Chain A
Amino acid sequence: MPRKILCISRRDFIKLAASGAAAAGIYPFVSGMPYTALAAGEKLRMWWWGEQEAPGLEKWVKDSVAMFEKETGVSIEVTLQDTATVISEFQTASAAGNAPDIQFLWNGIYHMESVWLGYLEPLNGLIPDELLKEADATVLSIYQGKQYRLGWYAVSLMWLYNKEMFDKAGLNADEPPTTWEGLLDTCDKLKSKGFTPIVAGLKDGFWGEWYMGHALGPNLDSPAETLKLFIGELDWREPKYYEHWSKLEQLWKAGYINEDMNSIDLYPGMDYFGAGKGAMTAIVISTLGKQASMLGAEKVGLMVFPAGGKGKMNNKPIRDLQGLGISSQSQYKQIAAKFLEFLHTPERVQAIWTDSKALPTDASWDGSAIEDPLFREAWKTWVANPDTVPYISNLMPVMFWTDAMFVNSQKIIAGEYNGEQAGENAQVVATKWREQNPDLLEHYQIWAEDLKL
């Protein structure tokens, strides 16, 4: 078996890459880093996730790996991870000194914890600064000035509304509500026409997390506030911080949400919208295509949730994205970095869109060429727009999701909690987390400083 050595000079590399890819429109990616040799029979290992939310990505990953191997001789073993264990698996493997070279990373705390534990390598220095900026992965991927993820595809959060129903209810179908009063009024009019104003599914809990992202954010001035709530410098029992849960109670009690909300999951709830059974719903951008094709794209309107907040983050689109990073234990960090760079060549970036209809997040990718007006608008406002906010639910550890975000919303719908009690529970959970994770607390404090926008 021939040794696969990657000791080629920069020039050879360019030639190699160009020869293989020129026709396909790949420009050679260069950063001038010397290669370390890959030992005989060794492969880079990459663990990823994403096919679950953007079907088609598996093909994209496989193609990318095959192309990279063809050009560089480096083979990569890719493993699609399961949703339930994608985080713990990487941490455990890292602790055992057995981490993959390249790892898929969810935003915010999901990879920040690994950063604090020393399992992730800063990309600065490995990846050219230009690309770091172009393929940025939101402020939630930066800790003490170092970037740990390279952006991949968008998972921005938005709301949809049914233009036809708005028309029938005598509402302006081109101007969705932007204030809380406006939302209540809209719901009222829709309801009086026999439409269910909001459709959602909360049984699996995730809608509770989305809702907090949409409705608490607008009351904040910066994401740092969320962290301060968490590290105990601010208090969840302040009306400002639990008001959004009171608002959920208000929407529920007024009968503005489908009554089986607590007995169906997130996606079936969302599909009520596509099936024309409800006027508004929360989605993640990767599901836009499905809803639009179910309902008819011409009837779908995009909106920011009008939470009626009093903070600087009010009425701003939420931009979020998935990304990839490099393990601090990798023997071949430079090669791994090369692969990540390769994934950001224009041809590969374009292929994300063509293969999976997920929206690439690279600044250089021009979405204005998208034919579908709905996707073009989504891309413009929720991906390429500089005036967006990060998704604050991603700043909270999983325990806060399961024990506070999920539980609070479900209990409000079940009539067990009011907004204030939800706030109290959030305070209890945050305190519990602090006590159980004293070693992570300090990092959280530093991060809070970093995140003051």
Chain B
Amino acid sequence: MSVREMQAALKEARSTARISVPRRQVEWSLITKQLVLLLAAFSVLFPAYFMVITPLKTQEAYSLSKLGFPTQIYLGNFETALRGGRFFLWFGNSIILSVGAVALSTFVAAMGAFATSRMNFRGRNLLLSLISSLMVIPPVVMLIPLFLFLTRIKMISTYPGAILVYAGLLAPFSVYLLNNFFRTIPHEIIESALMDGASPLDILFRIMLPLSAPALMTLITVNMLWVWNDLLIALVLLPEDSMRTLMVGITVFGSRYNADVPVSMAGMLMASVPIFLIYLLGQRYFIRGLVAGAIKG
């Protein structure tokens, strides 16, 4: 933060400060607050600095100084990393899996949530709470039977097998969120559509889902991030080399280049930049999506 910004902040703070509070005290508390935030920000930025600066050094420069700025920018590490890791393949696999799983889970969850939120039937509440409570069960609990079962039906190391599992793991939260959102859609809109002779399917796809666009966006963001970042399931259900996801890929890449930190960091940086850019552009959705489950309304 520049000095001017700091002064502006102080000025603003002074103007809003209550007369009963002595001026000096306010300044001190402002400084303390800034210090706390700066410390927290430093803890985040320090590893980021390390990750950005290290790949620009040669192995020798790194061993001399882990933190220093490179005297000479060296780009060879990125080349080595690209040759040593199949980043494009891993990215592709991760994209296929997360898009596939999120599409499937959103689809089945929307159907289900439509029924639980807008239709009357026996066992409605039971079914709803049963499905949403599955949210808390850790995937590792189900992993062994799923692994054995998928192996038996020859769907291990296949996209459909993994997508089914991911979609299933995402569905409870998706049903829960969509159910809550669908309930907030005014009944009058649906009534008028019914007057026009719309079928339930029309209502779901022409009315409910378009009106739920913000909820859908957030849901898709959260779920995508979840599949994208998973390591355990990908490690077990996709053991084939050519099926590796980005997470498994960089884990293996990291241990392969653990002797060459600059190359390893070049790989880490390349793997993170796309997601980070998406985050900067779509921060709103990320944040809103992640808090959506917790805060009603």
Q: Which residues of A contact B (CB under 8 A)?
A: 51-52, 79-86, 89, 92-93, 95-96, 98, 204, 264-265, 267-268, 270-271, 275
Contact = CB atoms under 8 A, between A and B. Distances in A.
B258 A93 contact: no
B111 interface: no
Nearest to B144: A92
A86 B260 CA distance: 25
Interface of B: 63, 147-148, 151-152, 154, 156-157, 235-236, 239-242, 244, 248, 252, 255-256, 258-260
B241 A267 contact: no
B152 A268 contact: no
Contacts of B239: 81-82, 84-86, 89
Nearest to B251: A84
A265 B235 contact: no
A96 B152 contact: yes
Contacts of B151: 92-93, 96, 98
A274 B259 CA distance: 11
Contact of A85 (B152, B236, B259): B236
B259 A84 contact: no
Contact of A84 (B156, B235, B242, B258): B235
Contacts of A96: 148, 151-152
B255 A204 contact: yes
28 contacts: A79-B157, A79-B241, A80-B240, A81-B240, A82-B235, A82-B239, A82-B241, A82-B244, A82-B248, A84-B235, A84-B239, A85-B235, A85-B236, A86-B239, A89-B156, A89-B239, A92-B147, A93-B156, A95-B148, A96-B148, A98-B151, A98-B154, A204-B255, A265-B258, A267-B259, A268-B258, A271-B259, A271-B260
A79 B244 CA distance: 12
Instruction: Give the secondary structure class of B's interface.
Output: helix
A342 B242 CA distance: 26
Contacts of B248: 82
B256 A52 contact: yes
Contacts of B148: 92, 95-96
B255 A265 contact: yes
Given A92-B147, A93-B151, A98-B152, A268 B236 contact: no
A384 B249 CA distance: 36
Contacts of B259: 265, 267-268, 270-271
B258 A82 contact: no
B240 A267 contact: no
Contacts of B152: 96, 98
B121 to A, nearest CB: 39
Given A265-B258, A267-B258, A79 B240 contact: yes
Nearest to A53: B256
Contacts of B154: 98
B117 to A, nearest CB: 41
A369 to B, nearest CB: 30
A170 B126 CA distance: 82
A153 to B, nearest CB: 18
B80 to A, nearest CB: 13
A275 B63 contact: yes
A265 B258 CA distance: 7
Contacts of A86: 239
A352 B294 CA distance: 58
A28 B174 CA distance: 62
| Max chain B Cβ within 10 angstroms of own Cβ: one of A79, A83, A85, A204 | A85
Nearest to A93: B151
A267 B256 CA distance: 8
A80 B242 contact: yes
Contacts of B258: 264-265, 267-268
Nearest to B157: A79
Contacts of A93: 151, 156
A93 B156 CA distance: 10
A444 to B, nearest CB: 25
A92 to B, nearest CB: 5
Contacts of B255: 204, 265
Nearest to B235: A84
Contacts of A52: 256
